[in-house]
Amino acid sequence: MEPAPGPGRFTRFIRQAAKEKRLVVQPRMGFGTVEQMRAGLEAVSEVGATTVGTITVDSFTRVNDYSSAQLALKKGEDLNGFPLVTHGAAVTRQMLAGIAGDDFPVQVRHGSALPGELFEGLMAAGVDATEGGPVSYCLPYSRVPLSQAVTAWAECCELLARSREPVHLESFGGCMLGQLCPPSLLIALSVLEGLFFREHGLRDISVSYAQQTHPQQDIEAISALRALAADWLGDTHWHSVLYTYMGVYPRTRRGAYGLLETSARLAAQSGTERLIVKTAAEAIRIPSIAENVHALEFAASVAEQELAAEPAVVPDSGIYEEAQAIIRHTLALGRDVGSALIRAFELGHLDVPFCLHQDNANRCRARIDGRGWLTWVDPGGVPIPRATGIAADRQRLTARGLVDMLSYNERRYDRELASSPARRLS
């Protein structure tokens, strides 16, 4: 195997921050016009924290509907992200001029199952990083057959691998559906996508995990993720990224910041290098530039204090062993990672709870137990050690029970923090 090339600008920035014990914070921000997007990037670059920039594309671009994006721009309509393909690489490159650089790398975030044209555009524009994966941007967001997404993502990885300057690729596998997916499955999917990227020539990658419902379980999960990444991706330049909770978000300002504070502490305690931040407006509308800036500064201040504290004690409920078993079993099913992923979903050995994609069995189930931990109720065909992680209560899940689980963090942070002292939020 050829030695890994040196890391690209995005990873060099992340590594320097980690060396200096600074958490990198990043928004989920995108605007339709060049003027708005540039203003957002400039504001993030000037935040009093260690930040990287984000260009999140719009929903038309995610599904390759460029004519609708063009029409919306022509009519002056608001878009929920930046239509990079429609604006074009030259315009995007010009927008980044004087902002993106060694001290402020930029990532394109998208959600596309078939991102070929987008990848061509972001590479031509000189963007430092992007994200997604053949499973994580297919099953939750599209009706594209998994086999088609795997082929498309193989081609996209090989396109990135031909770049003279390494382009960073982050797996979104740790965020499947945002919630109610047991941690061991999230970890396994993220590592498997990392292996897929590596198999197709990439050596500059990151693995992800989305904050769930209990900080102690999340500490164990991130520890397992980092250990498994070291086991399986040791010949790549990799780091870990944590997403502030991706499910139903608290509606009150205090609840939203309470949940963000928990995620910032979790990132600092777990050794995570990068945190994707959410704002107090998440449950209501697309956040403003100012709201993104405030959330970044708040998260960075929490993390800075936490980094000076004693390391967290890591529980051991078997998450590492479960994820390792899923990874090993999956890889044994195919001649390469892509075919193994397809076969594993065909057999139901990879299975995402409550995911309605046609290539997902949707037989396994999880629940939030009395401790607030997200645990297996029935793994279905997912090959986890039966001695660990299985809830004793196998009562039939009702629609009310599902709604209660989906709103668990919203209720907990809005109600529990409604009358409690809060950190200074402004």
Dihedral angle of Cα 249, 252, 254, 259, to the nearest 10 degrees: -10
pLDDT bin (cut points 50, 70, 90) of residue 422 is very low
Domain boundaries, the chain: 9-307
Q: What was the pLDDT predicted at 282?
A: 83
Average pLDDT over the chain, rounded to an integer: 93
Identify whether the C-beta of residue 389 lies closer than 8 Å to the C-beta of residue 370.
no
* Domain 9-307, CATH class in plain words: alpha beta
Q: What percent of the chain has pLDDT over 90?
A: 85
What is the pLDDT at residue 192? 98
Query: In Å, how far from its chain's centre is CA 144?
Result: 20
Q: Is the pLDDT of residue 111 over 50?
A: yes
pLDDT over threshold 80, residue 2: no
Helices (H), 162-252: 183-199, 215-232
Could you give the CA distance from residue 264 to residue 293 in angstroms, rounded to a whole number? 15
* Buried/exposed 60-94: b ≥16 CB within 10 Å, e otherwise: bbbbbeeebbeebbeeeeebebbbbbbbebeebee
Q: Are strands 374-378 and 365-368 parallel, antiparallel or unpaired?
A: antiparallel
In the predicted structure, residue 393 carries a pLDDT above the cut 60: no
Distance CA 233, CA 53 (A): 26
Say what the pLDDT of residue 417 is. 62
Contacts of 137 (CB under 8 A, 6+ apart): 110, 111, 112, 113, 115, 149, 153, 172
183-228 residue pLDDT tens: 999 999 999 999 999 999 999 999 999 999 999 999 999 999 999 9
Q: What is the mean pLDDT of residues 384-389?
A: 64
Report pLDDT digits (tens) over 333-350.
999 999 999 999 999 999
This prediction has a pTM of 0.94
Judged against a pLDDT cut of 80, whether residue 42 lies above it is answered with yes
Task: Determine the Cα–Cα distance for residues 353 and 317; give it in Å rounded to an integer.
Answer: 20
Average pLDDT over residues 142-158: 98
Confidence tier at 418 by pLDDT (50, 70, 90) = low
Q: Per-residue pLDDT tens for 75-106?
A: 999 999 999 999 999 999 999 999 999 999 99
When pLDDT is cut at 50, 70 and 90, the band that residue 158 belongs to is: very high
Tell me the per-residue pLDDT of 247-278, one tens digit each, with 9 for 90 and over.
Answer: 989 999 999 999 999 999 999 999 999 999 99
Please report which confidence band the pLDDT of residue 402 belongs to, taking 50, 70 and 90 as the band edges: confident
pLDDT over 70 percentage in the chain: 94
